[in-house]
Amino acid sequence: MPGTEQESIASRLDTTVAHAARRYDYWLGGKDNFAADRESGDAVAAAFPTIRLAVRENRSFLRRAVRFLAEEASIRQFLDVGTGLPTANNTHQVAQAIAPGSRIAYVDNDPMVLVHARALLTSTPEGATTYVDADLREPAKILGDPELRQTLDFEQPVALMLVAVMHFILDEDDPYAVVGELVEALPPGSYLAVAQATYDPLPPATVAALEAANARGNPKSRPRSRAEFARFFDGLELVTPGIVSVAEWRAEDEPQPRPSFEDISGYAAVARVP
């Protein structure tokens, strides 16, 4: 990576403010996080003690969704936005284990993720991976990125992966327009996969505690109801089993019984672009 780019990345790395990717890494037991991330993570965990289970289940959903898309839907291109820090079973690893020629573009806005991703998210010789330094709230910038366009062919189906990221897109950032612009760029036969936090199964006391933690700290989040979540798929064709708990989506081969909806508190779904 050129020195000037390294300097630019370093100048953007603010370790005094919690970031979603580093906090997620903390919950997963990783080491790429700072005191602010751990403090924020602990505040959420105090209000919602099963948060670590929930984030692990989000990773498991990502793995199952990519496997379905690669094996059953024959998708060979993936646009994974809100990638987070590299961990086990990243999108390209799952997809390329099934189809070595799969091509994956990762997108995140955390400078630490950028450094790690470029070092660790390496492709098979037959396939390709690239990393785009961009914010989900700027879909035009993502879609216009030269490296992304070099990696993905938008004349062929693409799977858009938005796993555990949409709850960080607040209402004032127009989440439905953001998703709509990205989906509009996908050709027929593409897919959209989303996992999003919700308060739906939680008792009022837990919701109040989470809202208090959200008000005090960063990053801000916006859990959504089932009806609000369903709007992301307007005009698309939901695949079986439709909108379900993150832990329940095509989880027949996972350890049983599955975690409760209350313990995970997140929706997941995959839909086809007609």
Per-residue confidence at 56, pLDDT binned at 50, 70, 90? very high
Task: Specify the pLDDT at position 257.
Answer: 96
Dihedral sign for Cα atoms in the order 66, 72, 78, 80: negative
Tell me how far apart the alpha carbons of residues 202 and 262 are, in angstroms, rounded to a whole number.
6
Q: Does the pLDDT at position 218 exceed 60? A: yes
Q: Does the pLDDT at position 7 exceed 60? A: no
Specify the 3-state DSSP secondary structure of 238. strand
Token readout for 58 is: 């989000």
Percent of the chain with pLDDT over 70: 94
pLDDT digits (tens, 9 = 90+) for 76-133: 999 999 987 767 688 999 999 999 999 999 998 877 777 777 776 688 999 999 999 9
Q: Does the pLDDT at position 192 exceed 90? A: yes
Task: Specify the pLDDT at position 9.
Answer: 56
Per-residue confidence at 25, pLDDT binned at 50, 70, 90? confident
10-13-15 Cα angle (round to 5): 130
Cα atoms found within 13 Å of the Cα of residue 154, Cβ hemisphere only: 17
pLDDT digits (tens, 9 = 90+) for 172-187: 999 999 999 999 999 9
Domain ranges of the chain: 3-272
Task: Specify the pLDDT at position 71.
Answer: 98
Task: Specify the pLDDT at position 19.
Answer: 78
Percent of the chain with pLDDT over 90: 74
pLDDT digits (tens, 9 = 90+) for 241-250: 999 999 999 9
The rounded mean pLDDT for the chain is 92
Q: Which residue has the higher pLDDT, 14 or 58?
A: 58
Task: Specify the pLDDT at position 6.
Answer: 52
If you classify domain 3-272 with CATH, what class do you get? alpha beta
User: How large is the average pLDDT for residues 252-262?
Assistant: 96
Going from the C-alpha of 64 to that of each of 110, 251, 252, 259, the distances in angstroms are 25, 8, 10, 16
Per-residue confidence at 24, pLDDT binned at 50, 70, 90? confident
Specify the 3-state DSSP secondary structure of 2. coil
Per-residue confidence at 10, pLDDT binned at 50, 70, 90? low
Buried b (16+ CB within 10 A) or exposed e, 231-247: ebbeebeebeeebbbbb
